[in-house]
């Protein structure tokens, strides 16, 4: 029986991964008290003890604005820790599947980013994720790096939950129209990861960086409108929702600069592994239906 080590089981993607990966073999998913990416000894000890065939790292510092004031911790969780995980995975003979981010790009492109495009992060979070990628590549481990885009889920802080809560509590909301990306449900990331891990030999034969997101693209404003429309349908409550008004990022200053365009092409992962993802808007209502009523 294969052994899979999951790091970060309490995160947005990690929570879904624990469910999706459990049928694939012996799943070990330690909490932070046992494996902490800020503690190299705990990383080395757990990986040496459990001798995994695959390591899935879904742990990281994901609060983009907070990363600006907590740069040291962000680097430890997103760059230094993953590098140590990769080195330990190499010694254990395990393949590493690691989640990165499309925030490694500066967002100046206006056609979908490919894996050949040169990263140029514009904030601390993006820089830390890029350094994590570099550390994994330099380790010599057998690795798959997945660059994720606009992740949302039923837990933690994310745009979808924030928008739905605010739209119910406020009469008006301003949402940016100049940020373009692809909302991708953590549930779908977990399903795609499980599909990848069903063929470990193919993973080892095709290491590298891969883009993975839902299909198509939208602005933050369009995403917000779709979320609220879905919530109206699911709840049966047509009234009592905020009116949404357009704005631009420059009028809504935040601690961290956002790349304005983070759309990526799934062509490489589709051609290599046969992985396909649903369109972002086809998943919105299904996601809303998983939320508690009210």
DSSP letter string, the chain: --EEEEE-TTSHHHHHHHHHHGGGSEEE---TTT--TT-HHHHHHHHHHH--SEEEE------HHHHHH-HHHHHIIIIIHHHHHHHHHHHHT-EEEEEEEGGGS-S--SS-B-TTSPP---SHHHHHHHHHHHHHHHHT-EEEEEEE-SEE-SSSS-HHHHHHHHHHH-SEEEEESS-EE--EEHHHHHHHHHHHHT-HHHHHHS-EEEE---BS-EEHHHHHHHHHHHHHHHH---SS-PEEEEE-GGGS--SSPPPSB--B--HHHHHHH-----BHHHHHHHHHHTSPP-
Q: What is the pTM of this model?
A: 0.96
**Is 261 annotated as catalytic?**
no
Catalytic residue among 103, 113, 125, 210: 125
Complete domains list, the chain, with CATH: 3-157+183-216+263-279 (3.40.50.720)
pLDDT in tens, the chain (294 residues): 699 999 999 999 999 999 999 999 999 999 999 999 999 999 999 999 999 999 999 999 999 999 999 999 999 999 999 999 999 999 999 999 999 999 999 999 999 999 999 999 999 999 999 999 999 999 999 999 999 999 999 988 899 999 999 999 999 999 999 999 999 999 999 999 999 999 999 999 999 999 999 999 999 999 999 999 999 999 998 899 999 999 999 998 999 999 999 999 999 999 999 999 999 999 999 999 999 875
């Amino acid at each position: 029986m294969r052994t899979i080590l999951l790091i970060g089981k309490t995160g947005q993607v990690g929570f879904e991964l624990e469910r999706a990966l459990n049928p694939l073999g012996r799943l070990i998913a330690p909490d932070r008290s046992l494996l902490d990416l800020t503690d190299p000894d705990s990383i080395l000890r757990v990986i040496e003890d459990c001798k995994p065939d695959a390591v899935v790292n879904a742990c990281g510092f994901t609060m983009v604005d907070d990363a600006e004031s907590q740069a040291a911790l962000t680097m430890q969780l997103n760059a230094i820790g993953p590098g140590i995980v990769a080195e330990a995975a190499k010694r254990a003979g395990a393949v590493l599947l690691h989640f990165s981010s499309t925030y490694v790009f500066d967002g100046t492109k206006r056609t979908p980013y490919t894996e050949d495009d040169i990263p140029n992060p514009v904030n601390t979070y993006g820089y830390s994720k890029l350094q994590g990628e570099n550390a994994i590549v330099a380790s010599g481990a057998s690795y798959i790096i997945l660059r994720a885009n606009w992740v949302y889920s039923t837990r933690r802080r994310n745009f979808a939950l924030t928008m739905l809560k605010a739209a119910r509590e406020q009469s008006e909301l301003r949402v940016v129209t100049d940020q373009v990306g692809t909302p991708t449900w953590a549930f779908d990331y977990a399903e795609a990861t499980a599909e990848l891990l069903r063929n470990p030999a193919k993973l080892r034969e095709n290491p590298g960086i891969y883009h993975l997101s839902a299909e198509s693209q939208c602005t933050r404003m369009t995403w917000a409108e779709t979320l609220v429309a879905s919530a109206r349908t699911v709840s049966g409550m047509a009234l009592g929702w905020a009116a949404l008004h357009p704005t631009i990022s420059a009028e809504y200053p935040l601690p961290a600069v956002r790349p304005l365009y983070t759309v990526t092409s799934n062509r490489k992962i589709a051609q290599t592994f046969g992985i396909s993802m649903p369109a972002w808007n086809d998943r919105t209502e299904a996601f809303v239906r998983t939320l508690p009523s009210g």
